[in-house]
Amino acid sequence: MRSNTIDVRPLGSAVGAEISGLDLAEPLAPPALATVKDALAEHGVVFFRNLSLTENQHIALARQFGEINVNRFFGHAEGYPEIALVVKEPNQTKNIGGGWHTDHSYDEIPALGSMLYAREIPPRGGDTLFASMYAAYDALSDGLKRTLDGLRGVHSSRHVFGVKRGDLEGRIGNYDAATQDATHPVVITHPESGKKALYVNPGFTVGFDGWTADESRPLLEYLYKHAARPEFTYRFQWREGSLAFWDNRATWHYALNDYQGERRLLHRITIDGCSLG
Ligand code: SIN
């Protein structure tokens, strides 16, 4: 799709598009803002290249899409509590986000999404995978769709942020604040696109409402395996100055941890969303 000089180029067959022709360091004109919002709702994640944003410009960009959600658990860029640090130093082994998940699904009002901006990228590795939960839902049988339509998923932050996990300590903290539990429909209607999406994720979903953990596990495991099928995914290769803006209601993401001994530093700003029903 082209509008003036803005180009939205789909990348994966199911998820992801690259947008070019916009100056993100300046406030976006209403038509440009609408183009980005539409592309995000349609493709689940949009990518921009070759940016040179200051912290204040990154914050101003995010504010055009909603209120900023100040992260409770991550360290932040000095002087900028709005900017969560997604960092791994050469001597650290664990990375942040190294498994399929949807940020903030444990909140009663889950976040819309995040803008992740690359400041320092290893010479190789450190890509991020994205998966389309629209595509995952669409590919289910009518019978399973009918079963899932009536279910709610239980999501929690406790088992992820409420416990110390190896050398993540120092980058993730405030463990006592990990008290969030929430239920959401297992199938949501996306608030902007109107499309149906699967809304459970391996990171934070702990069961189905009213089911035991043992009863929930087999169906959740089936859904996780199904939703991570390669044809629903896109693998984004970062360069310094790249920015990914994903929609948590339409995607999962997974930060690959294949760059031991190298530094990787990204700045993440998360934007508040709305109730999913
Ligand atoms: C995250 O899960 O927010 C981090 C993703 C990444 O570092 O690529």
Per residue in 66-92, pLDDT tens?
Answer: 999 998 888 999 999 999 999 999 999
Q: Who's near 242: CB < 8 A, 6+ residues apart?
A: 47, 48, 49, 50, 51, 117, 118, 121, 236
Please tell me the residue having the least CA distance from ligand 1 atom 2. Answer: 97
What fold does the segment set 2-272 form as a domain?
Double-stranded beta-helix (3.60.130)
Pairing of strands 152-156, 181-185: antiparallel
Please tell me the residue having the least CA distance from ligand 1 atom 8. Answer: 255
Tell which atom from ligand 1 comes closest to the C-alpha of 95. 7
Active site residues: 101, 103, 253, 268
* Adjacency order of strands within the sheet including 181-185: 181-185, 152-156, 205-208
Cα(99)–Cα(95) distance, rounded to whole angstroms? 10
Tell which atom from ligand 1 comes closest to the C-alpha of 266. 7
Please tell me the residue having the least CA distance from ligand 1 atom 7. Answer: 255
Cα(110)–Cα(65) distance, rounded to whole angstroms? 15
Tell which atom from ligand 1 comes closest to the C-alpha of 101. 2
Where in the chain does DSSP place strands (E)? Answer: 2-3, 6-10, 17-20, 45-48, 68-69, 76-77, 80-88, 113-120, 128-132, 152-156, 181-185, 187-189, 196-198, 205-208, 233-236, 243-247, 251-255, 264-271
Cα(225)–Cα(270) distance, rounded to whole angstroms? 27
Short-list 249, 256, 210, 250, CA closest to 235: 256
Q: What is the CA radius of gyration of the chain?
A: 18
Contact 73, 174 (CB under 8 A): yes
pLDDT digits (tens), the chain, 277 positions = 444 589 999 998 999 999 999 999 999 999 999 999 999 999 999 999 999 999 999 999 999 999 999 988 889 999 999 999 999 999 999 999 999 999 999 999 999 999 999 999 999 999 999 999 999 999 999 999 999 999 999 999 888 888 788 888 888 888 888 888 999 999 999 999 999 999 999 999 999 999 999 999 999 999 999 999 999 999 999 999 999 999 999 999 999 999 999 999 999 999 999 999 9
- Residues forming beta bridges with residue 19, ordered by sequence position: 8
Contact 21, 7 (CB under 8 A): yes
> How close is the Cα of 182 to the center of ligand 1, in Å?
22
> How close is the Cα of 163 to the center of ligand 1, in Å?
19
- List residues near ligand 1 (CB under 6 A): 86, 96-97, 103, 116, 128, 253, 255, 266, 268
Domain ranges of the chain: 2-272
